[in-house]
Amino acid sequence: MEDKNFRINLNENTEIIEEIFKGDSILRKREFSFNSVNACLFYFDGMVNVELINESIIKPLVKTKTEITNQKIAKQVAEKLLFASEIKLTSSINEAVSAILYGDTLLLIEKSHLAIIVNTKGWRTRGISEPENERVLQGPREGFDEAAMFNVAMIRRRLQTPNFCASTIRLGRKTNTYVFICYIKGLVNEQVLKTLKYRLSKIDIDSVLDSNYITEQITDHKSSLFKSVGATERPDIVAARLLEGRVALVVDSTPVVITLPYLFSENFQSDEDYYINYKLASFGRLLRMICFFLATSASAIYLALITFHFQFLPPAFAITVSSSRMGVPFPSALECIILTLIFEVLRETGIRMPQSVGHALSIVGGLVVGQAAVEAKIVSAPMLIAVAFSGICGLMVPRLKTAVFYLRFITIFSASLFGIYGILCVLAVTLISVLKMQSFGVDATLSLNNPTFQTLKDVFVRASWTKMLTRPLIQTKNIIRKTK
């Protein structure tokens, strides 16, 4: 809409607003007068605190006995009569419309070309609860909400420093979604911040309804299996990332906050690694790394051994495998692919179904169907065990779900064609691609560039807090985290 200004005539101004929102049944209009001056309120029902409107706008104006002049009448009302905590004067119709759409109340006054925007936001929110996908046994239980203002406040409560900054931009031609760019002055990598703002300025899309709308457009490697942009629903994780010199994007209407740059080692970190004993956290992290390898390669290695390298199997195990394969109608490669697909279908169905039904479905699919398939000689028991073991290991690294899914099938195809050599080639290509990855100009494997104890203290294992003296080398201005 072309940006125009309000006029002196109240009726013309109200007609402009009504014409803009023509056909919108939840727009509310309230006409009244005070001191022989006509006025009109506009707001959206369900997005404002009606009690706040009554107490901070209508009541003080109607009951006032303060005399006001016709000159700068809007400024006098805003400064002397209204009780609201946040008031803004504007002559722009576009600015007024944007304010109404975001839960503010618009006050138009006769003989004034200035409109008064009053902060009366009061929409309902889901409330603070622990994120379903990021539950911890020990640590904070708070999770983000869909209201960006509240999310920024939850981060600020943890970072009580004047250096915390939250600048605002709006994305989406139709949605005009608020996006907050959060960082800490003095810690943030200025080049990362500059790159982020440039990429955000290039986004031209009609709607931004979730943070993933932005993620897919600002990521470094759009076709990569590995993420270069992080996402979390926990305010404590965002605060920890900001303290390392990173940037966070809080998008309105979604509880998922974007963090960047994203290091590859974060895929193996658990949200509670820093809330439990470092020895236990280190063991869990190493276990997740091993599980990532097994999730992508376990079923493929078994397939390669029984197809090309049968001589490497112990005699007793080779006899067991041969006997279990008798009567199975499918080739080993096809059998492995079918079982992997069935496991993915059961996993995905268990996630999408209601929780109680999903648990029952997982048990029935895993035990009853699997046992029946083995007894019916449709699949062999060792292959079923290998595929199931590979699938269970994949659940240990949820942040690498996409990479595990595709790499599992790639390694299976390579193993069926070239055996162990095919698996090694896939692993080599994967390792090279990981080492080449960057996130907003920062190497995803930054700690391996100059391997020392301080750079590796939070990669493969987590060192104790007494040993973690420096921040990750995402920025070089202020790397000291703790003095000895």
Q: What is the DSSP string of 52-68?
A: HHIIIIIHHHHH-----
List all residues 6 or more positions away from 380 whose beta carbon is below 8 Å from its beta carbon. Answer: 321, 324, 325, 328, 335, 374
Residue found under tokens 């942040």? 399
The dihedral built from the CA positions of residue 173, 178, 184 and 185, taken in this order, carries a sign that is positive
Residue (of 391, 361, 385, 360) closest to 373 by Cα position: 385
- The C-alpha atoms of residue 414 and residue 421 are separated, in whole angstroms, by 8
The dihedral built from the CA positions of residue 103, 104, 105 and 111, taken in this order, carries a sign that is negative
Phi, psi of 106 (to 5 degrees): -105, 125
Structural contact between residues 383 and 342, judged by C-beta atoms closer than 8 angstroms: no
By CB atoms closer than 10 A (0-12, 13-18, 19+), residue 477 is exposed
β-bridge pairing 247-251 and 177-184: antiparallel
pLDDT by 10-residue block (mean), the chain, 484 residues: 78 90 86 87 88 88 77 83 87 89 89 89 77 82 87 91 91 90 91 93 92 92 89 92 92 92 90 87 92 93 89 84 82 88 81 66 66 79 88 89 92 93 94 91 82 79 82 75 71
Residue (of 315, 244, 287) closest to 482 by Cα position: 244
List all residues 6 or more positions away from 102 whose beta carbon is below 8 Å from its beta carbon. Answer: 47, 121, 178
Residue (of 143, 99, 152) closest to 121 by Cα position: 99
- The C-alpha atoms of residue 135 and residue 129 are separated, in whole angstroms, by 10
Per-residue b or e along 199-221, where b marks 16 or more CB atoms closer than 10 Å to that residue's CB: ebeeeeeeebeebebbbebbbbb
Question: Which residues on neighbouring strands pair with residue 33, listed in sequence order?
Answer: 38
Helix crossing, 381-394 with 278-307: angle to 10°? 150
Structural contact between residues 124 and 100, judged by C-beta atoms closer than 8 angstroms: no
The dihedral built from the CA positions of residue 447, 448, 450 and 456, taken in this order, carries a sign that is positive
Helix (H, G, I), strand (E, B) or coil at 436: helix
Alpha helices, DSSP H only, in 419-456? 420-436, 453-456
Residue (of 199, 182, 196, 190) closest to 242 by Cα position: 182
- The C-alpha atoms of residue 307 and residue 303 are separated, in whole angstroms, by 6
**For position 34, what pLDDT does the model report?**
85
- The C-alpha atoms of residue 102 and residue 118 are separated, in whole angstroms, by 11
The separation between the first and the last C-alpha atoms of the chain, rounded to the nearest angstrom, is 59
- The C-alpha atoms of residue 147 and residue 159 are separated, in whole angstroms, by 19
**Dihedral, CA atoms, 416, 421, 422, 424, nearest 10 degrees?**
130
At 365, the amino acid letter reads G
- Neighbouring C-beta atoms of residue 163, cutoff 10 Å: 12
Beta strands in 366-477 (DSSP E): 438-439, 442-443
- The C-alpha atoms of residue 45 and residue 132 are separated, in whole angstroms, by 31
Domain ranges of the chain: 10-118, 132-262, 278-439
User: Residues in the chain, how many?
Assistant: 484
**For position 412, what pLDDT does the model report?**
94
Question: Which residues on neighbouring strands pair with residue 108, listed in sequence order?
Answer: 40
